[in-house]
Amino acid sequence: MARAKKSKDDSKTSEQPIAPIADAETLDADSGSDSDDAFADLGPKRTHHWLIAVSVGGIIAIASLVGFKVAYASKIYPGVSVNGTSVGGLTKAQAKTALDRASQTYQDEQVPISYGNTTLSVDISQIGISYDSDAAVAEAYAHGREGSLGDHLRQVARAITDRPTKLVHYSYDDAKLAPYVAEIVEKTDTPVVNATLNFSDTGRATVNPGQAGQRLDIGLLVRSLEQRIAASSAEAITAPIYQQSPNIETGDLESAKSQADVYLQGPITLAILNKTTLVQLSDIIKWISVDRPTPSLLAPNLTIDQVANYAPPVPVTLSVSDAAIAAYVAGLAKTTDKTGQNAALTIQDGHATVFQPSIVGYHMDQVGTASAIKAALVKLPSDRNIVVAVKTMDPAVTEANLNDLGINELIGEGVTYFPGSPAARMQNIRVGAAKFNGVLVKPDEVFSFESNLGDVGPATGYAPALVILGDHEEFQYGGGMCQVSSTAYRAALFSGLPIVERHNHSFAVGYYTAPYGVPGVDATVFNASIDLKFKNDTGHYILIQTVLSGTTLKFDFYGTKVKTGRIRGPYFIDPAGGAGWNPTVPSTTVFYRDILDLAGNVIKTDTIQTHYKSSLDFPVVKELN
């Protein structure tokens, strides 16, 4: 990227007021009057003399300006220079020739930059300097010819008194200068090294001394080089390098060293359940850090200069990292924490029995343990013993409370059939149904099919089979899972459970018409965005059992029967029922679910209406690789 330098006019920095052409007192003296009384007697005449003097002075000034402009009508005013080359008194053509010659000559120059005992020469021809001599000449010629009459008079006065006006007109390429600067940075910059604490195997602290660094002031170096270019100068530059002191110096660590010795008096003993663990000195050393905080508040009543250089003495602090201790404790918890697990149940002779015992869970109090460890660091070795709090978490379902769960009888059953299913689809049904065998649904829990199903892919035993996706069918892992969800849906219906979420298929699928002969009692699922959910409102646990026999799948819900569900339908609304079922024809069906109490009384009726599109609208468009 080229960096252009704007013209610089030094006239404003060196201007002085133009002296009056004539002095009124001098004019009065020349009139021949020698006494103050004479002036007093001739008051009006004296005033007239002043007016004449001012008028004459103005006329002379304007006349001088006009004469000067005539003399330099085709020339640049005296005292003007561009990039260090004088062009005052030259015509535009002469000035252009002079500037072109000077710029060409300067291209052969090198500006030496010294640092230490080394000198790097910046080749002017290699940093992309360019000049627009036409524009520079135009600017030089315009100097003193633009602005108000007062501006013109001031510039003429500068020219007459031989006061210089320096203009700058060039550009250079930052990207071509950068390698020179980078080379100096690489050779001069050294990092600051803070003093640090070093710890022996026995935990004793020693101080590693700090080391000052140095850094090149790149901005000042570039400005110095720009000044040379502006003057077409090859004068040498001394690279501006400043020293940087360590933020933490050797002497700052003496008090920190003493504090470290306190922390490292000995290991910490942790009693965790029936085990003892030692926090070793090597672990404690990792938690210790040395820092000098940056002051955040300024002292009151400081001047601007004092604020700029404000550096109050801030003591070095030795601290123990809370995050490091927490990470250590989290690592301990991984070896002690254990997730509790309910007893796995099955139905035998119509009753719930345990086929896999429950597992007690444990959870360490990590926050309390970390706090106790930090407090122990300032105690004597004999007081560094901590009993770690570990919470025991009994599972909700155990061998002991099996009879309290209310799993006493079959409360509902759902059945679907899938003859003619491809082998991949049957594999997916078998794998998916097994995920729900033995699932317990707590009282008032909302059951989610997708949450219990888990990951569906090759790693979990699924195969690619057809699924309805958007506006087409394609092969996806787990195709056929809707057979499992539709079966669970029917079991929830017959158990009288509230249906929280249910979605039908986009078009009617033949696998889900039996035993009704009409579609409408199906439930599709897909990646948690389309789920099947129902609520256990029986007041007791529900145990799900799945049974797969050939091409028949059953979901049996066991618990305490407090109601039942009865389905009436489904019935065609459109097309008419007499037309029969045709998956290629859009249709709407409805069925009614009566909820009955144990005496057989209908206490609620749900109406479930389903809209299906034509199967012809969902072509198979993609095979899974």
The amino acid occupying position 470 is G
Spatial neighbors of 133 by CB under 8 A, at least 6 apart, are 96, 99, 100, 103
What is the structure's pLDDT at 216? 87
What is the structure's pLDDT at 56? 59
Helices marked H in 352-480: 366-376, 423-434, 449-453
Give me the phi and psi of 447, to 5 degrees please.
-75, 130
Give me the phi and psi of 458, to 5 degrees please.
-65, -30
Residue 167: beta bridge partners?
A: 82
**Across the chain, which distance is largest between two alpha carbons, in Å?**
148
What is the structure's pLDDT at 18? 30
E strands within 451-601? Answer: 464-469, 472-477, 499-501, 533-535, 542-549, 552-559, 564-574, 587-596
Residues of the chain under the 70 pLDDT cut: 1-62, 64-65, 292-314, 355, 575-579, 622-625
* Contact status, residue 514 vs residue 584, Cβ threshold 8 Å: no
What is the enclosing helix (H) or strand (E) of 238?
A: strand 237-238
Short-list 391, 385, 390, CA closest to 279 = 385
Short-list 500, 489, 481, 482, CA closest to 555 = 489
Short-list 152, 146, 142, 160, CA closest to 95 = 142
Three-state SS letters, 25-54: HHHHHHCCCCCHHHHHHCHHHHHHHHHHHH
What percent of the chain shows pLDDT beyond 70?
A: 84
Spatial neighbors of 248 by CB under 8 A, at least 6 apart, are 194, 195, 196, 210, 290, 291, 292, 316
Short-list 514, 552, 558, CA closest to 430 = 552
Spatial neighbors of 386 by CB under 8 A, at least 6 apart, are 268, 269, 270, 271, 369, 372, 373, 376
Short-list 180, 208, 181, CA closest to 196 = 208
* Contact status, residue 448 vs residue 566, Cβ threshold 8 Å: no
Grouping H, G, I as helix, E, B as strand and the rest as coil, residue 58 is helix
Q: How far is CA 535 from CA 442, 522, 541, 596, in A?
A: 9, 18, 11, 17
Three-state SS letters, 165-176: EEECCEEEEHHH
What would the pLDDT profile of 555-569 be if each residue is shown by its tens digit?
A: 999 999 999 999 999
Give me the phi and psi of 570, to 5 degrees please.
-80, 160
| Radius of gyration of the chain measured on its C-alpha atoms | 48
Q: Are strands 385-387 and 268-272 parallel, antiparallel or unpaired?
A: parallel
Question: Which DSSP letter does residue 161 get?
Answer: T
How far apart, in whole angstroms, are the C-alpha atoms of residue 542 and residue 496? 13
498: its two tokens: 């509230």
Give me the phi and psi of 620, to 5 degrees please.
-80, 115
Spatial neighbors of 301 by CB under 8 A, at least 6 apart, are none
Helix axis angle for 133-142 and 92-106, nearest 10°, is 130
233: its two tokens: 């100068």
pTM above 0.75, yes or no: no
What is the structure's pLDDT at 365? 95
How far apart, in whole angstroms, are the C-alpha atoms of residue 99 and residue 130? 12
Task: Quickly list DSSP for 482-513.
Answer: HHHHHHHHHHHHHTTPPEEE----SB--GGGT
How far apart, in whole angstroms, are the C-alpha atoms of residue 59 and residue 148? 17
Give me the phi and psi of 244, to 5 degrees please.
-125, 125
What is the structure's pLDDT at 562? 96
Question: Which DSSP letter does residue 130 get?
Answer: B
Task: Quickly list DSSP for 288-334.
Answer: EEEE-PPP-SPPTT--HHHHHT-------EEEE-HHHHHHHHHHHHH
Question: Which DSSP letter does residue 251 get?
Answer: G
